[in-house]
Copies of this chain bind each other. A is one copy, B any other.
Amino acid sequence: MSLPHAILTALLEKPSSGLELTRRFDRSIGYFWSATHQQIYRELGKLEAEGHIRALPSEQPARGQKKSYEVLPAGRAELARWTAASQDPKPHRDPLLLRLRAAAVVGTDGLEADLRRHLELHKRQLADYEKIEQRDFPPGKDAPHDRIQHLVLRAGIDLETFWTQWLTHALEEFAELPESGTA
């Protein structure tokens, strides 16, 4: 139930069309809530029907024609309500850890290469985040809004740091394992 709220947040930051939202979901917001353009258009329709957002009046609604949305007071209220409401943390789902656990039973053949690949991907993501941090949060930029955003980015950085460290450690362990164990 988070996608509509992700969209409301994005639209409050800046009114946008479906495609612009899609692009922003590929960057900042998508780092912790990804969505495809199909999902976004579907949800924009629902949010408009519910009276949470409206199309900016300027242009007529036709296919292939840009249509921008802005958040209405009802939408902002709903977002505030959702943000403040208590929510239980959902349990993780991590296929990589699952594969490792399977490997403990059926053997580690073939897994190492993919661990190495994941390590590279996480390193790259970490480098991206750190570049964003330098660009968007120079020392002194500490209005409440900035502090909170920075906090979110720090979570991303620390998570990627964790994964690179853990994967590095895992690969070291693999190196010490006897070859091809159906352990």
Tell me the smallest distance from the CB of A104 to a CB of chain B, in Å. Answer: 4
- Provide the residues of chain B in CB contact with A117, threshold 8 Å: 86
Interface-central residue, A97, A143, A177, by most chain B CB under 10 Å = A97
Beta-carbon contact of B148 and A183 below 8 Å: yes
Tell me the smallest distance from the CB of A1 to a CB of chain B, in Å. Answer: 8
A-B contact pairs, 25 of them (CB 8 A): A9-B105, A12-B105, A30-B91, A32-B93, A32-B94, A33-B98, A79-B106, A82-B102, A83-B110, A84-B111, A86-B113, A86-B114, A92-B159, A97-B152, A97-B155, A100-B148, A100-B152, A101-B148, A103-B148, A143-B183, A144-B177, A144-B178, A145-B183, A151-B170, A158-B166
Count identical subunits in the complex: 2
Beta-carbon contact of B178 and A104 below 8 Å: no
- Provide the residues of chain B in CB contact with A103, threshold 8 Å: 83, 148
A118 touches which of B2, B33, B89, B155 (Cβ 8 Å): B89
How far is A114 from B89 in the complex, measured between Cα atoms in Å? 10
The answer to whether A13 has its CB under 8 Å from any CB of chain B is: yes
Beta-carbon contact of A147 and B177 below 8 Å: yes
Tell me the smallest distance from the CB of A118 to a CB of chain B, in Å. Answer: 6
Beta-carbon contact of B147 and A158 below 8 Å: no
Which chain A residues (152-175) contact chain B, with CB distance < 8 Å?
152, 154-156, 158-159, 162, 165-166, 169-170, 173
Nearest neighbor of A106 in chain B, beta-carbon distance: B80
